[in-house]
Structure 1
Amino acid sequence: MRKEINNIHFHYLTSRFHFTNRTQLKAYLNRVAKREKHTIDTINYIFCDDAYLLEINKQYLKHDTYTDIVTFQLNLKGEALLSDVYISVERVKENALQHNTTFTHELHRVIFHGLLHLCGYKDKSKADKDEMRRQEDKCLNNYFVPRGTN
């Protein structure tokens, strides 16, 4: 269990925000990767603001748009997952309002989205986006199981 929480790290380049159950989340992310037939070497989740992520998006992806997440896969195919995942806390907050959900729920959706990209899920076509959303929902539903249910 110790290895399963030491291979995922959370870094904050913006004001800290309340983020509970990090150890539980790390263990769950490892279970999702395992379910998808992957192991995790190291994943760094870096929480930043819109301006920081916009610069990354422009510099590395040549996109001049705001986004909630940019995932850099650093491992070769067939190797354990190695990645830096940048998440704009500002964008997550705005998306939560827009989609009438909680910040916590939207934050976890984006965190799972990054891992799902690393596991091979895409979101360019309509069919890919639909499948990505199904997988995000599956992760959210399994992670946020109400008390008293199995």
Structure 2
Amino acid sequence: MNLSNLKPAVGSTRNEKRVGRGTGSGRGGTSTRGHKGAKSRSGYSKKSGFEGGQMPLQRRIPKFGFTNINRVEYKAVNLDVLAALTENGSTTTLDKDFFVNAGLASKNAKIKVLGRGEITKALEVHAHAFSKSAVEAIEKAGGKAVTL
């Protein structure tokens, strides 16, 4: 056996339909497209979402809501996460690079520190925003909350 005498298994393939090759073929004339109408013509393509003239779903459903162009999205980081990251390390200054390296935020994200959990170590935390409870907890532990 070699590449020159390989064949598909018997019955696994069928001959292609040769459409539009005269009436003797049984598929001449309309070439399996039916009679007249847009679908029988070359170049026909249905518009996406077209429902045969019925009002399409996209137009039946009302517009809803709006997007506020001035919205600022923050990446939230809680105090218990900061405590876990700094419990065995010698780091006391947590800046943007620290959050990026720890995988808590991307380099373009704005960071907001929230007050869930407790910290016992004095930390200097640099972030774009802080909740009131987070600022209280950081200062109570002897640290500093610096807004970027």
Which TM-score bucket, shorter chain as reference?
Answer: under 0.3
Higher helix share: 1
TM-score, with normalisation over the residues of structure 1?
Answer: 0.24
